[in-house]
Structure 1
Amino acid sequence: MHLIVGLGNPGDKYRNNRHNIGFLAVDAIARRHGFPAFREKYQGLISEGTIDGERVLLLKPQTFMNSSGDSVQKVAAFYKLGPADISVLYDEIDLAPGKTRVKVGGSAGGHNGIRSIDPQIGTNYRRVRLGVGHPGHKDLVMPHVLGDFSKAEQQAWLVPLLDAIAANAALIVKGDDNGLMNKLAIAVQGDGAERTQRPDTADPTRKKAPAQSHIRQARPAGPQAKVPDTGPMADMLKKLFGKKD
């Protein structure tokens, strides 16, 4: 059995927040693989189904982000699951929008949900970090992660990313981290994501840029893509986010 946890905050006011991308990812997996309706248990919403013949639990803790570990620990204890049987999907401001990183173990990196989970179950579980971008200054981080995804973000990279996570959920269960990252990168196709190659190594003749602060500078947003009102993409957006702008 494998436990896939999506992190977020409960309640309609937070539903489309960047901080709730973990909830959105788990919902996409549930729809894709025909999981039954979530039920309230273990201080969370839980559903059990199968992915590629493997028993899988999907969990959305309802404790609010900072106490996510309480729910995860209860599920892990009841089903006798160790860290190797658990994968956690959550937002990452230090990754460009649409970019993903998957690894086992590591630190909380300032994420309060992960900080709550680590002392409860240990650190050697799989972390699927889903980039939502940095607002440019530490004072803007809270309103950024608690802000809703724009329609342009949804179309440019969020819907393709969530669809790819759901389609490739078996790779999470199997622990194929590189395979999962490759599939997700292909699905997003670079929309909204920065290249991983550093400018000073991409071209050996290019002069090295002056050192900058570790706090990223905000960049002016480009023109927003027009979001379709009809068609398959519009239907997908309505299922994920409802009709709210």
Structure 2
Amino acid sequence: MIILTGLGNPGGKYDATRHNIGFHVIDTLARNYHTEVNQKKFNSYYGEIRIGSEKVILVKPQTYMNRSGDSIGAWMRYFDLPEENLLVIYDDMDFAPGEIKLRAKGSGGTHNGMKSIIQHLGNSDFPRLRMGIGKPLWESTSQFVLGRFTSEEMPLMQQAVKEAAEAAETFVREGIQIAMNRHNTKKESKKSKELS
């Protein structure tokens, strides 16, 4: 069994914010597999799909971002899953809008949702998919992540959500290393083609 979780804040007023991009990837996966993420358990909405032969649980924590670990920790303990069976999808200011990057493990950086998950799991040895949202130019970090994408950023982010959903599927079917090799180099190869 695999758990795919996207991070975000609950409630309609946060739906289109940069911080909620992880939720949009989970919703895209649900649509692609003709299901809904509307069942409730462990302070989250969830849905179940099957990718290949693997049972997958799609999770959207409803605890607010800085307590995401409350929900994810409960899911992991309930099924007694190893960390490598979890993929966390979230926004990252270290990458430009539209870029995605998978990693097998690592720190949570400044992301409060990731810090919470690491605290609850007791380690940071779990795969993650980071989605670039860019850096604030003038506003505070909290204003920026709770703000909305610009009209220029929206097409990039829509494509990034589609690519992130594909990367999550690759992770389930073929593992984190193949997913990293296939999807992390995609942007670089595009840039190389443009320059050549």
Whether these two folds match at TM > 0.5 is yes
Look up the SS of the partner of 2:106 in the other structure. coil
Task: Tell me which residue corresponds to 1:154.
Answer: 154
In the alignment of these two chains, the number of paired residues is 187
Specify which structure has the bigger relative contact order, considering alpha-carbon pairs within 8 angstroms and separated by 6 or more residues. 2
1:134 aligns with 2:135: yes
Look up the SS of the partner of 1:47 in the other structure. strand
Provide runs of 4+ in structure 1 moved above 3 Å.
none
Map residues 100-111 of structure 1 onto 2, 5 A cutoff.
100-111=100-111
Give the RMSD, CA atoms, in angstroms.
Answer: 1.9
Look up the SS of the partner of 1:151 in the other structure. coil
1:8-31 alpha-carbon deviations (Å, 9 max, x no partner): 000000000000011111111111
* TM-score (structure 1 length as normaliser): 0.71
Report deviation, 1:151. 3.1
The change in CA–CA distance for 1:126 and 1:110 in structure 2 (over 3 A counts) is same
The change in CA–CA distance for 1:113 and 1:12 in structure 2 (over 3 A counts) is same
Task: Tell me which residue corresponds to 2:79.
Answer: 79
1:43-69 alpha-carbon deviations (Å, 9 max, x no partner): 101111111221111101000000000
1:180 aligns with 2:179: no
Map residues 16-55 of structure 1 onto 2, 5 A cutoff.
16-55=16-55
Q: Is the 8 A contact 1:172 1:180 kept in 2?
A: no
Report deviation, 1:39. 0.8
Which of the pair is proportionally richer in helix?
A: 2
1:157-187 alpha-carbon deviations (Å, 9 max, x no partner): 111111222234321212222213235x389
Task: Tell me which residue corresponds to 1:91.
Answer: 91
Q: Point out where structure 2 has 5 or more consecutive residues left out of the alignment.
A: none
Please say which structure displays the higher CA radius of gyration: 1
Q: Is the 8 A contact 1:36 1:49 kept in 2?
A: no
Task: Give the AA of the match of 1:160.
Answer: Q
Report deviation, 1:126. 0.5
* TM-score (structure 2 length as normaliser): 0.88
**Rounded Cα–Cα distance in structure 1 between residues aligned with 2:185 and 2:28:** 19
Look up the SS of the partner of 1:178 in the other structure. helix
% identity of equivalent residues:
35
Task: Tell me which residue corresponds to 1:167.
Answer: 166
Farther off after superposition, 48-57 or 35-44: 35-44
Task: Tell me which residue corresponds to 1:65.
Answer: 65
